[in-house]
């Protein structure tokens, strides 16, 4: 039989293709190699993803969730957990897509609606977030996250009455967390029930005396009632658990000022790297006395509006810019970053403004930029706790664990009460493959951890220890150089 020229080409191409297929392992074989015997079992893959997720191995968890979805595309739980992992990794577009996919696969499930709402809040899309939370409540009227977040949204929207309704529903649930009760206190205060708000905060602090948020809120109430000594006591106690926090330092300095103790106010302000507006007024801040008093209000909403008005009259005042940067740091990181950037440019030699800018960069997850600035701050002020803490966080998030370790060790030496630093030391050793050192640090963390504040980390450590001990027995892990 004769083979035409075109047939010869076709035959040759077929032979090449056959050789290529023979030489390369099939995709199924590659998948089996990556995921082992579980490669075609979506439930087992999902469970392995959950285990990795609990250990904080987010990329690994994602791999398992995505393989489970390849095997079973209609797997809403895998999409939901994939979204949670992506959100933690700050891959927000992908996380939003995963949550919406989970919703489309399982319409009568409230959790992905709530998770989507939380993500939309994070992206400052409040109206869409509110729709998601309300949809969650139509499915499950006891969705705790939806109730808490809706209370917060309505409060910020100027609707304290409905905020109070949602907060009451949230605290009526069994085992309502402290955050739900704080939301109730805020709603009570906004509706004018300051006695009820104080009673709610007293209840939280009777059970959790170290709850910083409750201490701050109660201090604000006490300050409004001119019970300055009690407010100062609460803020001083709160500062022990969040050393270097500028918002607490600002409140404490302002409270001393209102109590007629300007020397104590100035001392707190200098220690916290800030100035109270009254002191700044003598240095050239243009503004009416009532504007300056409002800028130092214990109510953050009042203080922020006053600071913005003062900034209009004093557009090149670095102190006012930094105060606004601190004010917006948690609820609008990008705006906070811009204020801090301007303050640092106006006063490039002032380490407190550089530190504020770097802290805002960390909040915005721009870790590499933050590291460069924080190293300069530490060189100028080697004992600056806030700089070391932010530098440790930035290096850890960049997965530069070897560089992060000395920073966390400095934190432990400077502030032994910061027990969570032991957890980060342990996980850094773990990621570096330094298993014996990781085990010792994990055990140290468990010895000093408090279940009321470190329960999540405690659970992760307990999940990790059995496999870590097996790895040590097998001689696995990198050996530290002498």
User: How many Å apart are CA 49 and CA 439, to the nearest integer?
Assistant: 23
User: How many Å apart are CA 103 and CA 93, to the nearest integer?
Assistant: 16
Tokens of 197: 């708000």
Q: In terms of Cα–Cα distance, which of 26, 97, 22 is closest to 66? A: 97
Q: Determine the pLDDT at residue 242.
A: 84
Q: Determine the pLDDT at residue 36.
A: 56
Q: Determine the pLDDT at residue 32.
A: 46
User: How many Å apart are CA 363 and CA 400, to the nearest integer?
Assistant: 18
Q: Determine the pLDDT at residue 481.
A: 42
Q: How many other β-carbons are positioned within 10 Å of the β-carbon of residue 304?
A: 17
Contact predicate 155/190, CB 8 Å: yes
Q: Determine the pLDDT at residue 336.
A: 78
Query: Exposed, middle or buried by CB within 10 Å (0-12, 13-18, 19+), for 458?
Result: middle
Q: Determine the pLDDT at residue 285.
A: 63
DSSP state letter for 37: G
In the chain, where the domains are located: 21-135
Tokens of 45: 């893959």
CA of 296: how far to CAs of 257, 315, 382, 422, 472, in Å? 9, 18, 30, 37, 56
Could you give the count of Cα atoms lying within 13 Å of 213 in the half-sphere of its Cβ? 13
pTM of the full structure: 0.53
Q: Which residue has the tokens 């893959």?
A: 45
Q: What is the pLDDT tens value at each position of the chain, 482 positions in all?
A: 333 434 433 333 333 333 333 333 444 444 444 555 566 788 989 989 888 888 888 899 899 999 999 999 999 999 999 999 999 888 999 999 999 999 999 989 999 999 999 999 888 788 899 999 999 999 999 999 999 999 988 888 888 899 999 999 999 998 888 889 999 999 999 888 999 999 999 999 998 888 998 999 999 899 888 898 999 999 999 988 888 787 788 888 888 877 877 778 778 877 776 644 444 343 456 667 777 777 777 677 788 888 888 888 787 788 888 888 887 776 677 777 788 888 878 877 777 778 888 888 887 788 998 898 889 888 888 888 888 999 999 999 999 999 999 999 999 888 888 888 999 999 999 999 999 999 999 999 998 888 777 888 888 899 999 999 988 888 887 654 43
Q: Determine the pLDDT at residue 138.
A: 94
CATH topology of domain 21-135: 1.25.40
């Amino acid at each position: 039989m004769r083979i035409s020229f075109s047939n010869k080409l076709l035959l040759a191409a077929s032979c090449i293709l056959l050789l290529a297929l023979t030489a390369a392992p099939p995709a199924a074989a590659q998948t089996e190699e990556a995921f082992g015997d579980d490669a075609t079992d979506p439930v087992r893959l999902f469970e392995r993803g959950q285990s990795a997720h609990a250990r904080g191995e987010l990329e690994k968890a994602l791999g398992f969730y995505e393989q489970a979805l390849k095997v079973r595309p209609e797997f809403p739980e895998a999409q939901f957990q994939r979204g949670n992992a992506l959100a933690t990794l700050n891959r927000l577009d992908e996380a939003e897509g995963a949550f919406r996919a989970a919703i489309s696969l399982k319409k009568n499930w409230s959790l992905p609606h709530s998770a989507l709402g939380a993500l939309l809040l994070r992206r400052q899309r409040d109206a869409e977030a509110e729709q998601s939370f309300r949809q969650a409540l139509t499915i499950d009227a006891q969705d705790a996250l939806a109730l808490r977040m809706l209370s917060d949204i309505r409060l910020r929207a100027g609707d304290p009455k409905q905020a109070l309704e949602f907060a009451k529903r949230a605290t009526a649930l069994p085992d309502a967390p402290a955050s739900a009760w704080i939301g109730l206190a805020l709603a009570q205060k906004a509706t004018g029930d300051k006695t009820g708000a104080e009673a709610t905060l007293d209840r939280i602090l009777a059970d959790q005396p170290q709850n910083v948020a409750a201490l701050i809120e109660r201090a604000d109430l006490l300050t409004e009632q001119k019970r300055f000594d009690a407010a100062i006591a609460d803020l001083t106690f709160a500062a022990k658990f969040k050393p270097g926090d500028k918002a607490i330092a600002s409140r404490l300095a302002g409270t001393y000022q209102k109590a007629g103790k300007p020397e104590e106010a100035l001392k707190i302000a200098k220690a916290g790297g800030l100035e109270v507006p009254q002191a700044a007024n003598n240095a050239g801040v243009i503004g009416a006395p009532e504007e300056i008093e409002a800028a130092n209000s214990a109510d953050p909403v009042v203080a922020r509006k006053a600071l913005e008005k003062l900034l209009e009259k004093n557009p090149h005042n670095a102190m006012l810019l930094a105060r606004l940067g601190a004010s917006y740091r948690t609820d609008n990181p990008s705006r906070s970053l811009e204020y801090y950037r301007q303050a640092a440019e106006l006063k490039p030699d002032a380490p407190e403004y550089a530190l504020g800018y770097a802290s805002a960069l960390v909040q915005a997850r721009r870790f590499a930029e933050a590291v460069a600035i924080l190293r300069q701050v530490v060189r100028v002020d080697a004992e600056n706790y806030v700089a070391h803490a932010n530098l440790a966080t930035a290096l850890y998030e960049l997965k530069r664990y070897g560089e992060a370790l000395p920073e966390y060790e400095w934190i432990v030496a400077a502030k032994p009460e910061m027990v969570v630093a032991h957890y980060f030391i342990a996980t850094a050793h773990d990621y570096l493959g330094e298993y014996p050192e990781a085990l010792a640090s994990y055990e140290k963390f468990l010895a000093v951890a408090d279940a009321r504040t470190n329960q999540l980390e405690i659970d992760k450590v307990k999940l990790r220890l059995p496999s870590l001990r097996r790895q040590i027995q097998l001689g696995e892990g990198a050996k530290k150089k002498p």
